[in-house]
């Protein structure tokens, strides 16, 4: 399965559960592609954050490069600038900033510190001070972009042509996971899921608890790396004591097939426009 934004597709590895099999057969019952509705204002806001962070980083790198040329410094100090801030570009930019800053400032480490680099550091930053910035802001802006790639998500994606019949499938504890995943079904019941209720009150049996009784045509897509956690042992023991099944905190559909999950965020955020089209493909 793939989730698509404009002309970018992200491949998803389906979760190996009965629920995911049911979900796939329902969503793709009569078609191999389903268009989705999403809050475009949110996507525009995400694009604006991304554009602002990238423009600030690119402008700072341009300014630093101009100063390096102006002061006739070594060309090896010049930052390479790409058309878009790929994850590899951010990695290399941060490596270059870190190496330069370490040589300039790590006076306690004789194997790294270089007084000539320290002189260059102060030369550049004295000029940058007049522009209310510094070379250290390179680090800040790299991490700002990486944070956007790593921690953004698209919530309440509605598959408008899909209809889930109430009670057509009964979600089981084995369909859920402990942790996070890329493509998930949001909790739409009235009440709280069991693990959340236990986390705030210590209860694993309570009238407020409901565990995905209502499956809707909404999905959430997270850019962050999926993870599995070991549930709190007290939670597991209390479920055993009260003779109730232990439910995971997430109802997963699948996981994005990427080694570096920052790439998922980069590909999606970089694909954003003022008029976005979102969908899923079998």
pLDDT tens for the chain, 282 residues long, are 999 999 899 999 999 999 999 999 999 999 999 999 999 999 999 999 999 999 999 999 999 999 999 999 999 999 999 999 999 999 999 999 999 999 999 999 889 999 999 999 999 999 999 999 999 999 999 999 999 999 999 999 999 999 999 999 999 999 999 999 999 999 999 999 999 999 999 999 999 999 999 999 999 999 988 888 999 999 999 999 999 999 999 999 999 988 788 899 999 999 999 989 999 999
- 137 and 202 inside one domain: no
Match 């934004």 to its residue by tokens. Answer: 5
Q: What is the pTM of this model?
A: 0.89
Q: How far apart are CA 197 and CA 203, in angstroms?
A: 6
Q: How far apart are CA 85 and CA 77, in angstroms?
A: 19
- 119 and 204 inside one domain: no
Q: How far apart are CA 262 and CA 88, in angstroms?
A: 10
Q: How far apart are CA 140 and CA 146, in angstroms?
A: 10
Domain-terminating residue out of 150, 184, 212: 150
Question: Domain span at residue 142?
Answer: 46-150
Match 């997430």 to its residue by tokens. Answer: 250
- 166 and 275 inside one domain: yes
Does residue 155 sit within a domain? no
Q: How far apart are CA 66 and CA 70, in angstroms?
A: 6
Tokens of 99: 């190496």
Identify the three-state secondary structure at position 255: strand
Domain count, the chain: 2
């Amino acid at each position: 399965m793939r989730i698509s934004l404009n002309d970018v597709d992200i491949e998803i590895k389906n979760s190996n559960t009965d629920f995911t099999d049911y979900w796939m057969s329902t969503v793709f019952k009569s078609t191999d592609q389903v268009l989705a509705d999403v809050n475009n204002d949110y996507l525009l806001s995400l694009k604006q954050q991304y554009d602002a962070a990238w423009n600030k980083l690119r402008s700072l790198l341009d300014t630093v490069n101009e100063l390096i040329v102006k002061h006739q410094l070594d060309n090896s100090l010049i930052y390479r600038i790409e058309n878009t801030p790929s994850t590899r570009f951010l990695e290399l930019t941060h490596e270059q900033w870190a190496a330069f800053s370490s040589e300039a400032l790590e006076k306690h480490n004789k194997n790294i510190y270089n007084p000539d680099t320290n002189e260059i550091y102060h030369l550049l930053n004295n000029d940058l001070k007049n522009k209310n910035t510094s070379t250290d802001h390179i680090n800040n802006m790299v991490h700002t972009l990486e944070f956007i790639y790593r921690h953004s998500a698209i919530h309440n994606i509605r598959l408008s042509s899909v209809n889930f019949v109430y009670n057509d499938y009964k979600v089981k504890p084995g369909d859920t996971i402990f942790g996070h995943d890329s493509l998930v079904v949001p909790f739409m019941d009235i009440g709280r899921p069991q693990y959340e209720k236990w986390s705030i009150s210590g209860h694993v049996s309570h009238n407020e608890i409901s565990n995905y009784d209502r499956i809707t045509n909404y999905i959430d897509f997270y850019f962050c790396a999926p993870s599995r956690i070991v549930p709190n042992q007290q939670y597991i023991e209390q479920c055993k004591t009260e003779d109730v099944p232990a439910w995971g905190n997430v109802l997963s559909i699948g996981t994005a097939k990427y080694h570096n999950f920052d790439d998922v965020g980069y590909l999606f955020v970089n694909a954003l426009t003022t008029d976005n089209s979102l969908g899923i493909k079998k």
